[in-house]
A = this chain, B = another copy of it.
Amino acid sequence: MNETILSKPDEQEFLKNYQPKDYPGFAYTADIVVFTIISGQLSLLLIKRGGYPYKGCWAIPGGFVEQTESSEDAALRELKEETGLTLDGIYFEQLKTYSQPDRDPRTRVISTAYVTFIPDLPVPVGGDDADEAHFFAVADILDGNESIDLSFDHETIIRDGLERVRSKLEYSPVATEFLPETFTLSDLRRVYESVWGENLHVSNFRRKVLSTPGFVEAADTKGESVFETGRLAQLYKKGDAKILHPAIMRKDD
Contacts and interface: CB of A to CB of B under 8 A. Distances in A.
Interface in A179-234: none
Contacts of A155: 2
A103 B54 CA distance: 34
Given A20-B107, A26-B28, A14 B57 contact: no
| Copies of this chain held together in the complex | 2
A145 interface: no
Interface of A: 1-2, 4-6, 10-11, 14-15, 18, 20-21, 23-28, 52-55, 57, 64-65, 67-72, 94, 96-97, 99-103, 105-108, 110, 112, 149-153, 155, 243, 245, 253
Nearest to A8: B55
Contacts of A101: 67-70
Given A71-B99, A101-B67, A106 B20 contact: yes
Contacts of A107: 18, 20
Given A1-B100, A2-B149, A71-B110, 4 more contacts: A4-B149, A21-B27, A26-B28, A110-B110
Contacts of A11: 52-55, 105
A184 B102 CA distance: 45
Contact of A26 (B1, B57, B65, B152): B65
17 contacts: A1-B100, A2-B54, A2-B155, A4-B149, A5-B54, A5-B57, A5-B149, A11-B52, A15-B53, A20-B106, A23-B27, A25-B26, A26-B26, A68-B101, A71-B110, A97-B97, A110-B110
A115 to B, nearest CB: 13
A95 to B, nearest CB: 10
Sorted nearest first, the 6 A-B pairs with minimum C-beta distance are A25-B25, A14-B52, A71-B99, A97-B97, A26-B28, A70-B99
Contacts of A54: 2, 5-6, 11
